[in-house]
Structure 1
Amino acid sequence: MRPDSVLLLWLAFIAVHDFRRRIVPNWLVLAGAAAALVQLSLGFQPVGISWSEALLGLAAGFGVLLLFYAVGVMGAGDVKFAGALGLWVGPTALAPIWIGGSLLAASHGILWLALQRWPLLPRLALLLANQHAPNDGPLATKRRARFVPYAAYLALATAVWLIWGRQR
C-alpha cells in the first residue's frame, strides 16, 4: 500500500461527505489528523515533510482559514479540515491547494448565482445549493445556508496536487 493511499482515501471521504451534507464532521477530521500523525511517526509520510513542517502546516491551515470563519464566510469544519490537511502536506503546499480549491469553489458559487438569475436548469441550481425540490418538503434549518462545499473543493485540489502537481 502506497503512503499516499491513506491520504487519498481520507480526501475522498471528506469530499463525498461535504458534497452530500455540506458539513465536515469532527470524527472525520480527527481520523485524518490521527492518520497523518501515525504516518509521520512511522516515517511513511506521503509528501516527505518533517514534524516541524507538519506542525507549521497545521498552524497555517487552521490559522488562515480561522480568519474567514471569524467573519462568517466559512464553516468551522472547513477550518478544522484545513488544519488537518496542513498536517499531511505542510505549509508550502497549502498555497497552491488553497488557490485550486478556491477557484473550484468560486466556480460553484458563480454557477449557482447565474442559475438563480437565469433559471434555465432549476434542478442543477437546487443540486448546487444542496436543496431538494419544493415538492420534497420544506427545509427547516436555523443555521446559515451553506451552498459551497469548500472542504470538498480543497480535498479535490489536494488530490490533484498530490497526483499531478508533485511530478514536476
Structure 2
Amino acid sequence: MAGIELIWLLPVIVYDFYQRRVPNWLVLAGAVLALTTLSLGQHPLGVVWSDALVGAALGFGFLLLFYAVGLMGAGDVKFAGALGLWVGWQGLLPIWMAASLLAAMHSLLWLALQRWPWFPRLAVALSGRNKASGTETSRKRVIPYAAYLAIAAAIWIIWGQQS
C-alpha cells in the first residue's frame, strides 16, 4: 500500500510551486523514510536496495548535469536523488518524461502569456513572482521542476497500485 511516499510528495509540490525551492529538511526526510522502509523490508512499492540505490544515483547524477550548466536548482537535483530511493531506477524514466512534459507545458504557457498578457495573474503565478510584494523567488526560476517530478511520481505510484 503506497501512502507514506505520497504524503512526502505533497509538501514538495507545495513548496516548489510557491517558493520555487525544496528545503533540505524535506529532501532528507524523504530519503530517511525511504531508507528506513528499505532497511525494514517494508518498502511500499516493493523496491529492493540495489534498485533504490541505482535510482538515487541516476536521479541525482543525471539532473546534476542540468544544475552544472545552470538550468536547474540544487533542490531539484537533491529531490530527484531522494525520489530515486522511492521509485528505483525503473520508475525514473517514465517519471522524468511526464515531469518534463508538464514543465514544457508550463514554460510554453508562461511564454505565451509574456507575449499576449491576457491573464496577468496567471503569468505572475507561473513566473514565481509575488506581484503584491514585488519580490521574486531566488534565482528567478520559472519552472518548479521538483513539483512536476513529484506530481509525475504520484501519478506513477497511484497508477502502479491500480494494476
TM-score of the superposed pair, with normalisation by structure 2: 0.95
> Does structure 1 residue 151 correspond to structure 2 residue 151?
no
* 1:14-163 equivalences in 2 (<5 Å): 14-133=12-131, 136-139=132-135, 143-163=138-158
Check the 8 A contact 2:20/2:144 in 1, yes or no.
yes
Q: What whole-Å deviation, never above 9, does each CA across 1:131-163 have from its counterpart, x for those lacking one? A: 122xx233267x520011000000000000011
What is the rounded CA distance, in whole Å, between the counterparts of 2:136 and 2:29 in structure 1? 30
What is the rounded CA distance, in whole Å, between the counterparts of 1:131 and 1:59 in structure 2? 32
More displaced 10-residue stretch of structure 1: 44-53 or 63-72: 44-53
What is the rounded CA distance, in whole Å, between the counterparts of 1:70 and 1:155 in structure 2? 22
What is the rounded CA distance, in whole Å, between the counterparts of 2:136 and 2:47 in structure 1? 45
Per-residue deviation at 1:92? 1.1
What is the rounded CA distance, in whole Å, between the counterparts of 1:64 and 1:163 in structure 2? 25
Runs ≥4 in structure 1, deviation > 4 angstroms?
A: none
Task: Structure 2 unaligned segments of length 5 or more: list them.
Answer: none
Provide the aligned C-alpha RMSD in A: 1.3
- Residues 118 and 86 (structure 1), Cα distance of their counterparts in 2 relative to 1, 3 Å cut: same
What is the rounded CA distance, in whole Å, between the counterparts of 2:121 and 2:43 in structure 1? 42
Q: What whole-Å deviation, never above 9, does each CA across 1:110-143 have from its counterpart, x for those lacking one? A: 100000000011111001112122xx233267x5
Check the 8 A contact 2:128/2:136 in 1, yes or no.
no
Aligned-partner SS, 1:144: helix
Check the 8 A contact 2:129/2:136 in 1, yes or no.
no
What is the rounded CA distance, in whole Å, between the counterparts of 2:76 and 2:54 in structure 1? 18
Q: What whole-Å deviation, never above 9, does each CA across 1:7-44 have from its counterpart, x for those lacking one? A: 00000110011111100010000000000001111111
What is the rounded CA distance, in whole Å, between the counterparts of 2:133 and 2:12 in structure 1? 27
Per-residue deviation at 1:166? 5.2
User: Partner letter of residue 145 of structure 2?
Assistant: Y
